[in-house]
């Protein structure tokens, strides 16, 4: 009986030591609780643009067809530039419907992406995506309402992150990095 108690006492000491050895040290500097990463600070500039330094997550869509066109855009210094636009029609049937994060509307309506414009200059330097969406009712998944809005996601510094988000129509300003 003494041997069993001794073995149990030994095991109760050795198992925590093995656990600590496998999972790092037990120093007082080590925090027992996980640390939470800070949330990116989202700000609004003087033009009403939402700025996320980490970049906005772009919705993934299922394109149906693609069309190419050009438009005239402006740099921040007011000089004009030819902007290449690739427009993708997006599947909106029940299996492929992408519910846009906002704006949600009263009366049980949400927004669904209907097409996407990819804007680039200078041989394919993509600086902006425009997501076009229409509201639809949650009850009848085929009941789209004819009102259309757009969100623009723009990469303002050329790092591949789309930091600027703005609701509305019109051509966005072409950032200087895309020259």
- What pTM, to 2 d.p., does this model score? 0.68
Q: Does residue 150 sit within a domain?
A: yes
Dihedral angle over CA of 20, 22, 27, 28, nearest 10? -70
User: Number of structural domains, the chain?
Assistant: 1
Domain span including residue 154 = 44-178
Residue 132 lies in a domain: yes
pLDDT, tens only, 35-80: 555 566 889 888 888 899 999 888 878 788 899 999 999 998 889 9
Report if residue 17 sits inside a domain. Answer: no
Q: Average per-residue pLDDT in the chain?
A: 74
Q: Is residue 23 part of a domain?
A: no
């Amino acid at each position: 009986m003494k041997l069993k108690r001794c073995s149990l006492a030994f095991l109760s000491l050795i198992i925590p030591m093995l656990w600590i050895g496998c999972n790092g040290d037990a120093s007082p500097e080590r925090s027992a609780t996980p640390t939470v990463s800070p949330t990116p600070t989202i700000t609004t500039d003087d033009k009403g643009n939402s700025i996320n330094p980490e970049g906005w997550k772009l919705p993934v869509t299922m394109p149906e067809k693609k069309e190419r066109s050009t438009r005239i855009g402006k740099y921040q210094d007011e000089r004009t530039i030819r902007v290449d636009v690739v427009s993708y029609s997006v599947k909106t049937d029940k299996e492929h419907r992408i519910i846009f994060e906002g704006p949600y509307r009263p009366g049980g309506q949400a927004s669904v992406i209907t097409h996407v414009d990819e804007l680039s200059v200078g041989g394919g330097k993509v600086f902006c995506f425009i997501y076009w969406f229409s509201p639809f009712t949650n009850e009848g998944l085929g009941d789209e309402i004819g009102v259309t809005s757009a969100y623009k996601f723009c990469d303002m510094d050329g790092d591949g992150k789309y930091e600027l988000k703005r609701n509305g129509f019109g051509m966005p300003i072409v950032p200087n990095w895309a020259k």
